[in-house]
Amino acid sequence: MTLSESAIGDLAFQALDALRIEIPSWGFANTGTRFGKFVQPAAASTIEEKFADAAEVNRLTGATPTLALHVLWDLPNGLRDVAAVRALERRFGIRSGSINPTLFQDQEYKYGSLANPSQAIRERALQHLLDSIEIAKALGARDISLWLADGSNYPGTQSIPKRIGWLEEALCAAHDHLADDQRLLIEYKPFEPAFYHTDIADWGMAAYLAHKAGPKACVLVDTGHHYSGQNIEQVVAWLLYLGILGGFHFNDRRYADDDLTLGSIDPYQVFRIFHELHSSQSKESSLGGVAYMIDQSHNLKGKIEAMVQTVVTAQELYLKAALVDRERLADLQQSCDLVAAEELFRGAFWRDVRPLALSWRAARGLPADPLEALRASGYVERAVRERGGRHAAVSSYA
């Protein structure tokens, strides 16, 4: 790099200070697969325990001040639960993050929610979405993060055009219900649980629906929600260029939507995505920038340990991407000096940024090694003793 070591240090501190990552409440609870689940004695079974775990992750990493909530899992009584959540925010120093409507687990949604052929079920699903927006308003939450399981499993069994129209109608109604400072993040997924067609299958469909809904709607990218081999960083670049990238659900995958810890399979891909985000800062959505959110849940790894591991990995990969010499890279790209450009790019990825991260943590009063600090704190062991055999299971999250 052509930057001085002092400039690199300053840039590193700026990057890590700016990075805020939202973690999911369901990431601390016992969840499973379609085949079953393996419960963990330290898993959170109440919203209070989820806030406690989130506070511990933030204490260790200094980067996770908000907790994403799923409405039926975390606020089963709707607005009546807001006061209790507000009290937990004050107690643990963690704010409510994105509000996630739950439109996939009820029996009525067997054939879809907002795109169900039944008008009565569509209206029920829309009302839940509107209620979720009201919950977000009451909690001061900006983002309503919408993922739908809607789709079909067999050719000819559903009218795809009709379902597009029903989605347009519902999302326009939801958009009209948003406050001025709120956003509707529209997520997509090519398959699962629907295996013939998913109603919002890719970023183009999500972008179209966001455009139809209105200026406060944008696209949410889940890194696990793509076909194998998809160039996700190109999708990110396009959405940034169009000004409609609202946020991410970060995880990793080997085959499909595996929800593995970030960077466990392909850290280079995460680096490439962060590079596009750093390169396009000036073209970020005018709706308030890009929200970085974790969406993963674990049956095998310890849930709190896995969350800390993911956040630390995100910090390191984000920092690597921040240190790319973009001025030099632009010159090499313009002159089509392919090898030199790639070597500069790869050099930033291979750079060991752990000493920079360590310096930042020391300056911010954070543990030098968050995972080791978690182990030394005894927090997980206390959770095992206090939570014991309470293994309240929630539905698997897609």
The domain locations on the chain are 19-322+369-387
Q: Rounded to an integer, what distance in angstroms lies between the CA atom of residue 152 and that of residue 44?
A: 34
**Is the CB of residue 57 less than 8 Å from the CB of residue 67?**
no
Domain 19-322+369-387 adopts which CATH fold? Answer: TIM Barrel (3.20.20)
Predicted pLDDT of residue 344: 98
pLDDT on residue 32: 73
Q: Quote the pLDDT of residue 398.
A: 41
Four-residue CA torsion sign, 13, 16, 19, 25:
negative
Confidence (pLDDT) at 298: 86
Backbone φ and ψ of 30, nearest 5°: -75, 115
Residue 391 three-state SS: coil
pLDDT reported for residue 392: 43
Summarised one tens digit per residue, pLDDT across range 2-24 is 677 888 999 999 999 999 999 99
Which residue in 77, 151, 76, 163 sits closest to 119, CA to CA? 163
pLDDT at position 38 is: 85
Predicted TM-score of the model (pTM)? 0.94
Give me the residues of the chain with pLDDT under 70, please.
1-2, 34, 281-288, 389-398
Whether 117 and 263 have beta carbons less than 8 Å apart is answered as no
For residue 293, what are the β-bridge partners?
Answer: 22, 249
For position 59, what pLDDT does the model report?
Answer: 98
Strand partners, 186: 146, 219
**pLDDT on residue 286:** 45
